[in-house]
Amino acid sequence: MTGVLDRFSRPLRDLRISVTDRCNLRCPYCMPRETFGRDYAFMPRDELLSCEEITRLCRQFAALGVVKLRLTGGEPLLRRDLERLVEMVAAIPGIDDIALTTNGMLLAAKARGLRAAGLSRVTVSLDALDEEVFRSMSDTRLPLARVLAGIDAAVDAGLRPVKINMVVRRGVNDHHVLAMAEHFRGRPETLRFIEYMDVGTTNGWRLAEVVPAAELRDAIDARWPLEPIVPDRLGEVATRYRYRDGAGEIGFIHSVSAPFCSTCTRARLSADGRLHTCLFATRGHDLRALLRGGASDDELRSEIALIWTARSDRYSADRTVRTAPGGAVTTKIEMSYIGG
């Protein structure tokens, strides 16, 4: 069995794997401290998928057309056996790209080992270069310098391209957009701006705090002229531009203002083995029960294929109806549970 299409003829090509639900930051748009406080009950270790279980599932996803894996969290670098997991999934036939999304706090010490294990590239979340704004956006006392050191270490280790993701919130950090662009111009990293999204139900999302990607692009273009880049492949989440003066590339992820549901090729696996077919899902499908219940590889593969072929998610495209006054309110899975 090779290649599956959902109800909108979207192929399954990318799998995002949450390897832990824990994080060492409390970014208000992802894990607000009011909910994820000191007494919050994270998953017990025995509920998490083991490296062997994740690898076995990845083999089935690869057989169905997945070529790209992204390891997420929570904060994936908190998982002690992460290098072993990378080495195991890197050996799967058909997988040609393994990426990692991290807050960068532990990256300086781990970048070289991850590269040696088979990690292809890394994305670092960084919402400001100003220390005060950074600490406010991440709700931490940890220093910004640790993230910057992690970025440098990733570049030095050969994890390229290193991408920097900045979530932009109006009235919070939007006045630092040009400073971020200026800092990363001419550097090997690629900066991407992400519209503040209504992931989960605990982050207090308001449409008024969304800065549309077009507004961000126009502000940067007025300072440093841009030109569009043709997408490399179906399912790219960022609209990409290059600086006309040759100072590199930037991107914009506009799930709110210009949804890209029609080309979404991503599935998400939670740390406890639930398969979600959308970032804004309200429920998942329990693959761990099948794994631990003795299902064969054929049975696992058939179940994954069945879930994907039944997929009809287009949350972002329908968001205007869902978020309008009087619209339906749904309880969505938290971002920290299934990654970004």
- pLDDT digits 0-9 by tens, 44-54: 999 999 999 99
Supply the DSSP string of 267-289, one letter for each residue: EEE-TTSEEESSTT-S--EE-HH
**pLDDT at 205 > cutoff 50:** yes
CA distance 247 to 240: 14
> What percentage of the chain exceeds 70 in pLDDT?
89
What is the side-by-side order of every strand in the sheet holding 68-72?
226-228, 239-243, 249-253, 190-195, 162-168, 121-125, 97-102, 68-72, 14-18, 266-269, 274-276, 285-286
- pLDDT tens for each residue of 301-329: 999 999 999 998 776 656 544 444 444 44
Residue partners of 46: CB distance under 8 A and separation at least 6: none
Question: What are the start-end ranges of the E strands in 205-259?
Answer: 226-228, 239-243, 249-253
For residues 120-144, one letter each, b for 16 or more C-beta atoms within 10 angstroms of the residue's C-beta and e for the rest, the string is bbbbbbbbbbbeebbbbbbebeeeb
Q: What is the token pair recorded at 13?
A: 């090509």
Q: List pLDDT tens digits, range 208-264.
A: 899 999 999 999 999 999 999 998 877 688 899 999 999 999 999 988 887 778 889
Of 13-17, 135-139, 297-301, 318-322, the one with minimum mean pLDDT is 318-322
Of 222, 299, 223, 258, the residue nearest 57 (C-alpha): 299
Beta strands in the chain (DSSP E): 14-18, 68-72, 97-102, 121-125, 162-168, 190-195, 226-228, 239-243, 249-253, 266-269, 274-276, 285-286
pTM beyond 0.75: yes
Residues 154, 109: Cα–Cα separation, whole Å: 10
Question: Which domains does the chain show, CATH number per domain?
Answer: 14-338 (3.20.20.70)
Is pLDDT at 337 greater than 90 in this prediction? no
